[in-house]
Amino acid sequence: MSRNSENGWRSKELPYDQVIEKYPEIPPIVALKIDVSRRGIHYTQAALDRVDPDKHHVEPYNYMIGHGKNAAPIGLFLRDGSVICQGDTPDYSKAYRDPYTLDVVDGRLVLTDEEIGKVYEEVTFWDRPDFYDKKTSNGTPMCLVASARPQRITIAPQTKCHFWDTPGEGCKYCALFSAHRSKDDEGEIRDEKWFQDVEETTREALKEKGRYCSFHMTAGSTLSGAEIFDDEVDLYIKTLHAAEKAFKTEKFPVKLVASAFSKKQLQRMYDETAITTYTTDLEVLNPELFKWICPGKSRLVGYEEWKHRLYDAVEIFGRGNVDCGIVGGVETAQPNGFADEDEALAAVLAEAEEMGRHGVSFADCVWNALPGSMFVNQKTPSLEYYVKLALGLAEVRRKNGLKIYTDDYRRCGNHPNTDLARID
């Protein structure tokens, strides 16, 4: 028996159909995306048989995780033009809830809930980026230099997060770059050859006209330098300078998701690179839980200082051009998190409101207890909680007159609250 078939989770929370009835202001398709992100997707053999690696976007390995796996799709299109950033979950026996199913019904690729026996939405696979087949002049496969979503290219200059250097100090929900966590592992090597690879890969990717709206960079945190993160800033600047050679303008749409840089570091990034927006993730909007869930960030920067650095960033980039990523729902992790979902929501939205008044927008990732994270066995919140969180964060943005184009459905696609900005 799997964990999810034993625990009776379906009887303990409102199902999708009742949630959309109770909250008519949430678009059903956004609620479904949230629920799929929360529960995951299992591909049937019929769905897998529909995958054409020459046509569809399959990852030979998970670029953002670093583990090897079978080549498989990493996301789906919904009929409103938004995306679900989830691939196949082959083994879900240890997950708290069983996943949605991607199946073929009446010749259509659809999301279903097998136990309920209902077809929810028709979906399509993402198309394969043209550059995935190419190699740089150094012989590096370009799919190892960059990853892509339907409308963004992603480069990760650092595949090691150094908060993991001190045992137990990595963020507890995080599975990113989990292949590089041992103290002696420095991650992928970024020598001059690699920067040349970045330039060539960027140039090649841009030949696919009409595909990319955003150049996305993110990486594990680098703590070294005269001031904490100085070396990380240097690495981003050098990477951007390599990519910039492919562009004719000094500024272009970059979505940088990085550590909480000091004002001096931010000013340098703004002055010396193409960036016009900036994202740094406070992850959990509660000082005490931040200390428990993100111990490295807490010890070396601190909650209030991280927040203060977001406010400093607003002075440089402007209101609505500074974004704070959160792992929505992780505030309910046990044993230290909120046991009551209403209390959790009230606390998170109050803090979001304060930060929104300072011009900071939010990007809410649906917390999924991922393999490779310390929270793998946690129970994530109900769908109702996530729906109220997305609606509440959207209201904070509207109330404070903020835009979120830098992290919207098109330039990222993984945030239900920013999907809601499509009609603002």
Partner 1 sequence: MAEISRELADIINDKESLKVIATTDAQGNPHVVFKGTLHTEGQDLVFYDLLQSSQVNKNLVSSIWFGRKVAINILAKDKRSFLITAKPRRSVTAGRVFEEVYASLKDRNPDGDLNAIWYLEPEHIEEKTFAVRRAEEEAAFPILKHLDRLVKEERS
What is the per-residue binding string for partner 1 in 371-410, x denoting contact by CB under 8 A? ----------------------------------x---xx
What is the per-residue binding string for partner 1 in 141-180, x denoting contact by CB under 8 A? ---------xx-----------------------------
**220, 187 contact by CB (below 8 A):** yes
Query: Could you tell me the smallest distance in angstroms from the CB atom of residue 1 to partner 1?
Result: 38
Q: Within positions 8 to 27, which residues make up the interface with partner 1, using CB under 8 A?
A: 27
Q: How far apart are CA 23 and CA 39, in angstroms?
A: 20
Q: Per DSSP, which regions of 15-134 are E strands?
A: 41-43, 58-61, 68-73, 76-77, 83-84, 100-105, 108-113, 118-122, 124-125
73 forms part of the interface with partner 1 (CB under 8 A): no
253 forms part of the interface with partner 1 (CB under 8 A): no
Query: Could you tell me the smallest distance in angstroms from the CB atom of residue 389 to partner 1?
Result: 18
Helix pair angle (303-317, 263-272), 10° resolution: 30
Judged by CB under 8 A, which stretch of 119-127, 164-172, 253-261, 362-370 contacts partner 1?
Answer: 119-127
Total count of residues recorded for the chain? 424
Interface residue with partner 1, options 45, 209, 249, 250 (CB under 8 A):
209
Interface residue with partner 1, options 16, 43, 120, 126 (CB under 8 A):
126
β-strand partners of 147: 154
**331, 290 contact by CB (below 8 A):** no
Query: Could you tell me the smallest distance in angstroms from the CB atom of residue 410 to partner 1?
Result: 6
Query: Could you tell me the smallest distance in angstroms from the CB atom of residue 416 to partner 1?
Result: 12
Query: Could you tell me the smallest distance in angstroms from the CB atom of residue 4 to partner 1?
Result: 30
Nearer to partner 1, 28 or 287 (CB): 28
Interface residue with partner 1, options 68, 139, 210, 335 (CB under 8 A):
210
Q: How far apart are CA 147 and CA 151, in angstroms?
A: 11
Interface residue with partner 1, options 52, 288, 343, 424 (CB under 8 A):
424
Q: Residues of 182-195 as b/e, b for ≥16 C-beta within 10 angstroms?
A: eeeeebbebeeebb
Judged by CB under 8 A, which stretch of 28-36, 102-110, 223-231, 300-308 contacts partner 1?
Answer: 28-36
Interface residue with partner 1, options 185, 208, 234, 353 (CB under 8 A):
208
Pairing between strand 360-366 and 322-328? Answer: parallel
Q: How far apart are CA 136 and CA 350, in angstroms?
A: 49
Query: Could you tell me the smallest distance in angstroms from the CB atom of residue 419 to partner 1?
Result: 9
Nearer to partner 1, 354 or 424 (CB): 424
Q: What are phi and psi of 12, to 5 degrees?
A: -100, -5
Please state the separation of Cα 369 from the chain's center in Å. 14
Query: Could you tell me the smallest distance in angstroms from the CB atom of residue 408 to partner 1?
Result: 8
**373, 422 contact by CB (below 8 A):** no
Interface residue with partner 1, options 127, 185, 305, 315 (CB under 8 A):
127
Nearer to partner 1, 12 or 248 (CB): 248
For residue 60, say if its preceding peptide bond is cis, omega within 30 degrees of 0: no
Nearer to partner 1, 12 or 209 (CB): 209
Q: What are phi and psi of 421, to 5 degrees?
A: -70, -10
Pairing between strand 83-84 and 76-77? Answer: antiparallel
Q: Within positions 211 to 230, which residues make up the interface with partner 1, using CB under 8 A?
A: 211
Q: Which residues make Cβ contacts (< 8 Å) with residue 285, sequence separation at least 6?
A: 326, 331, 347, 348, 351, 352, 355
Residues engaged in binding partner 1 (CB under 8 A): 27-30, 77, 79-82, 124, 126-127, 150-151, 208-211, 405, 409-410, 422-424
